[in-house]
Structure 1
Amino acid sequence: MWNRSILVAHMGLTTKGTIGAKTALTLDESVKRVQAIADAGKSVNPDIIVICHGGPIAEPCDAEYVIKRNTGVDGFFGASSIERLATESGIKNQAEAFKNISK
């Protein structure tokens, strides 16, 4: 039986997009906080799976930036970064395509 815990290093409300949080940590501040959370979690359970989420970690390049600058962080938990941001850009692009139809 698989019995591992997952710890989400949550950096706050996701920024970016039309309704994203207006204030947040920087990516570099998030790197430090994610590492501190990962270290704390692994000190209690060395087998814990640590993933990062939220705040300025909104795009794949943001997640890569944080993950590559930390040790013991296994990945990214996507929520609005996957569904809301993708939907917003898709809707905007589609609306612009209709708007740009010429007669």
Structure 2
Amino acid sequence: MIRKAHELDMLTTPYVFDEEQAIKMANAGADILVAHMGLTTKGTIGAKTALSLDDCVERIQRIVDAGRSVNPDILVICHGGPIAEPEDAKYVIKRVDGLVGFFGASSIERFAAEKGIKAQTEAFKQIKR
């Protein structure tokens, strides 16, 4: 699918979980590799177990290196696991050579909704007769 999309001149951003997948997706013509570190751990329904941020740094560096061994110009961004808040992403980005950013999903939409819903509910609960 990534190869076909690349041939159609579409932007391709596959999730990859390890070096082998990074090499395969780079060979298929991926434009951006999303180094996926597992289910996001924070928020009200986040995963209960995950890698540490330092584990992520090591894994993502290996993914960056693998992808760039095929295509030196490939972009790599991080996503998931314990990389959930801006400070988490900053920690990882500053420590992984060649990592160009963060791909937010739950960290952007679900966390914001959870915080807003909680604040709104608490405001209603403060109403006294």
* TM-score under structure 2 length normalisation: 0.75
Query: 1:31 corresponds to which residue?
Result: 57
CA–CA distance in structure 2, aligned partners of residues 91 and 36 of structure 1: 39
Decide which structure has greater helix share: 2
Number of equivalent positions: 103
Note if 1:10 corresponds to 2:10.
no
Higher relative contact order (CA 8 A, sep 6+): 1
Runs (4+) of structure 1 exceeding 3 A deviation are 1-4
Alignment of 1:42-57 (within 5 A): 42-57=68-83
- C-alpha distance 87-2 of structure 1, shift in aligned 2 (>3 A): closer
CA–CA distance in structure 2, aligned partners of residues 8 and 69 of structure 1: 17
Tell me which amino acid in the other structure corresponds to 1:78: G
CA–CA distance in structure 2, aligned partners of residues 98 and 27 of structure 1: 37
Unaligned 5+ runs, structure 1 = none
CA–CA distance in structure 1, aligned partners of residues 58 and 87 of structure 2: 17
CA–CA distance in structure 1, aligned partners of residues 56 and 99 of structure 2: 12
Q: Pairwise CA RMSD of aligned residues?
A: 1.6
- 1:84 deviates by 0.5
Post-superposition Cα deviations, 1:36-80, rounded to whole Å, max 9, x if no partner, equal 111111111100010000000011111011000111000000111
Note if 1:62 corresponds to 2:83.
no
Secondary structure of the residue aligned to 2:115 is: helix
Unaligned 5+ runs, structure 2 = 1-8, 12-29
